Amino acid sequence: MSNLVPITVAEGDGIGPEIMAATMKILEAAGARIAPEYVTIGEKKFLSGFNNGIGDETWESIARTQVFLKAPITTPQGGGYKSVNVTLRKSLGLFANVRPVKTYQPYVGSKHKEIDMVIVRENEEDLYSGVEYRQTRDTCHSVKLLSRSGSELIIRYAFEYARAHGRKKVTCLIKDNIMKISDGLFHKVFKLIAADYPEIEADSIIVDIGMALVADRPEEFDVLVTLNLYGDIVSDIASQIAGSVGLAGSFNMGQKCAMFEAVHGSAPDIAGQGIANPSGLLNSAILMLHHIGQSDIAAKVENAWLCALEDGAHTGDIAKDKSKALSTSEFADAVIERFGKEPQELTLVETSEKGFVMPTHDLRTISKRHKELVGVDVYLDWRGQDAEEIGGKVESSSTDAMKFSAMSSRGVKVYPGKCETELVSDLWRCRFRATGGCVKNSDVNALLGQIEKAGLEWVKVENLYTFDDEDGFTVLQGE
Ligand code: NAI
């Protein structure tokens, strides 16, 4: 039986085919024990009618190999094309986006001396679920969706990654001073899981100052774990300040499969010229070799690549003397020529297999606490500016089971009592509380009927629950 590991390979668009050819040439010369299955995704598929840029043969190949090495894809502007990356991430359940960020001083320019951090970004939840609404003329909203099980999975993954790679610290970026329920959940889960890894320092920072520190003192960070949106932003900040956007590899990890790709895009401005730097894709392929248990080959390739950087064998994007810049294929040869050599100044990569425990979705941890419906927030579309006028109508809609408690505009109380904000929005949140402790959905229906009868238009309803005695909703400011 062959000991070659099958992998799915997509050459991508723009510079994709050039950098993939260079990468595969290096892997083959290094003796990587892989059997590539080539598939076509991206522009060609979009143009032949697949609006997500991916054909059946690609799904079948990934299902078979469970390992996907992917060059960048061009997403055509307009025309209702879906992002290939978002489709792949969601369809394959790639819950973690992992991006190592490093400096290679003095060979690649950066203001910072020694950055060596790994960003672990949650990849499936948060504001990226794409659930958005416009229900009044003036306002719209996006749904920030977070689950306890999803948070546990990504946080445990970050700690397992840190343990397997001998990392010392995991830092969690959150904004739970404002988003107390959603980011608060992520933070709480972080603290609980950190206790299982006493040898690793666990640290939490509010995301705004956290990002400022990443930009200012990146040397102090080791592993970072965070939500989808913050992770997206901090990954770009970190790659940019390291000066290595063109060199950085990354991977997306799921329970069943993993996808490896460069951080940069398809660079259509230099496509076809044979001058692109293949290092980002090569570094992704190195991560892939570790994943499939070929750390020996990964170290051989990475050390040769570091030697090439030290020797000034550079492509045009990082070459100090542009007249000596190598082409894409010359750079691949320069790496191959250095197999077996060790870098002198950059850190030597050791050939050690990493023992990694892959966490799984543990649905047993979903809370078994007692849940009760204790009220409802009804959102109205109303274009008047007199809080007393609408407040009076809403108040009189109360039923025996549900009594009006307060009304707010953009999160601030406007009725009853003193109006504490400028009334510029057409979306009004009206809170009703259960008079007898808890209510049923039918009580909410009756209330909505009363509101309609009062001549008001409701556009959205949010149920208010308690879990044991803990509120599953925030207190209305000034309530
Ligand atoms: P880009 O990363 O492709 O290019 C930005 C700049 O960096 C350009 O000047 C380019 O020439 C240069 N550059 C990028 N990679 C390079 C390399 N390996 N060697 C030398 N120079 C390199 O970003 P841009 O222009 O915003 O996007 C171009 C296309 O790529 C778009 O269609 C975008 O949607 C797509 N894209 C795809 C990604 C993926 O498939 N993972 C990720 C990011 C963008």
Distance (angstroms) between ligand 1 centre and the Cα of 74 equals 9
Q: Does ligand 1 lie within 6 Å of residue 271's CB atom?
A: no
pLDDT tens for residues 332-372?
Answer: 999 999 999 999 988 888 776 666 777 877 666 666 789 99
CB atoms within 10 A of CB 188: 14
Candidate from 177-191, 198-212, 225-239, 350-364 with smallest mean pLDDT: 350-364
Regarding the beta carbon of 280 and ligand 1, being less than 6 Å apart is answered yes
Burial code (b: 16+ CB inside 10 Å, e: under 16) for 434-461 equals beeeebeeebbeebbebbeeeebebbee
What is the distance between the alpha carbons of residues 116 and 66, in angstroms, rounded to a whole number? 28
Indicate the residue type of 360: T
Q: Mean per-residue pLDDT for 76-101?
A: 85
- Cβ of 42 less than 6 Å from ligand 1: no
Ligand 1 centre to CA of 341 (Å) is 31
Q: Single out the residue of 19, 68, 14 nearest to residue 39, CA to CA.
A: 68
Does 145 score more than 60 pLDDT? Answer: yes
The predicted model gives 186-215 an average pLDDT of 97
Region(s) of the chain under CATH 3.40.718.10: 1-92+255-357, 111-242
Ligand 1 atom 13: residue of nearest CA: 267
Look at 199-213, 254-268, 404-418 and tell me which has the smallest mean pLDDT: 404-418
Task: Among 240, 244, 245, 264, name the best residue to mutate to test ligand 1's pocket (greatest count of ligand atoms within 8 A of Cβ).
Answer: 264
* H/E stretch holding 173: strand 169-174
Q: Report pLDDT for 381.
A: 95
Fold of 371-471: Alpha-Beta Plaits (3.30.70)
Q: What are phi and psi of 438, to 5 degrees?
A: -140, 165
DSSP string, 254-286: ESS-EEEEESS---GGGTTSS----HHHHHHHH
For residue 477, name the pLDDT band (cuts at 50, 70, 90): confident
| pLDDT above 70 coverage of the chain, percent | 96
Residue 77's pLDDT band (boundaries 50, 70, 90)?
Answer: confident
What does the pLDDT read at residue 443? Answer: 97
Q: How far apart are CA 26 and CA 32, in angstroms?
A: 9
At a CB cut-off of 8 Å and minimum separation 6, what does 302 contact? 283, 286, 349
Q: For residue 458, is it left (φ>0), alpha (ψ between -120 and 50) or beta?
A: beta
CA of 125 to the centre of ligand 1 (A): 25
Residue 437 scores a pLDDT above 60: yes
Higher pLDDT, 347 or 13: 13
Return d(Cα 277, Cα 317) in angstroms, integer. Answer: 7
Query: What CATH number has the domain spanning 111-242?
Result: 3.40.718.10
Q: What is the pLDDT of residues 275-284, one digit of tens each?
A: 999 999 999 9
Is residue 274 in contact with ligand 1, taking CB distance under 6 Å?
no
Q: Which of 383-387, 401-405, 418-422 shows the lowest per-residue confidence on average (mean pLDDT)? A: 418-422
Dist. CA 304 → ligand 1 center (Å): 25
| Closest ligand 1 atom to 77 CA | 32
State which of 266, 275, 281 you would mutate to test the pocket of ligand 1, scoring each by most atoms of that ligand within 8 A of its C-beta. Answer: 266
The model's confidence at residue 16, banded by pLDDT at 50, 70 and 90, is very high
Q: Is the pLDDT of residue 255 over 80?
A: yes
User: What percent of the chain has a predicted confidence (pLDDT) above 90?
Assistant: 72
Confidence of residue 423 (pLDDT cuts 50, 70, 90): confident
Ligand 1 contact, 218 CB (< 6 A)? no
SS3 state of residue 314: coil
pLDDT at 1: 52
Higher pLDDT, 133 or 128: 133
Instruction: Indicate if ligand 1 lies below 6 Å from the C-beta of 228.
Output: no
Cβ of 56 below 6 Å from ligand 1: no
From atom 42 of ligand 1, which residue's Cα is the shortest distance away?
A: 265
pLDDT reading at 83 higher than 70: yes
CA-closest residue to ligand 1 atom 8: 267
> From atom 6 of ligand 1, which residue's Cα is the shortest distance away?
267
Look up the CATH number of domain 1-92+255-357: 3.40.718.10
Count Cα neighbours of 176 within 13 Å in the Cβ-side half-sphere. 19
Ligand 1 centre to CA of 293 (Å) is 30
Instruction: Decide whether any atom of ligand 1 lies within 6 Å of the 245 Cβ.
Output: no
Q: Which atom in ligand 1 lies closest to the alpha carbon of residue 316? A: 20
Q: Is the CB of 97 under 6 A from ligand 1?
A: no
Residue nearest to atom 41 of ligand 1 (CA): 72
Q: Which is more confident, 159 or 48? A: 159
The verdict on the CB of residue 408 being under 6 Å from ligand 1 is: no
pLDDT interval class at 192 (50, 70, 90): very high
Q: pLDDT value at position 113?
A: 81
CATH 3.30.70.1570, the chain: domain bounds:
371-471
* Pairwise CA distance, residues 267 & 73, whole Å: 9
Cβ–ligand 1 contact at 409 (below 6 Å): no
The predicted pLDDT at position 321 comes to 86
Average pLDDT over residues 74-98: 84
- Choice among 222-231, 328-337, 431-440, 470-479 with the minimum mean pLDDT: 470-479
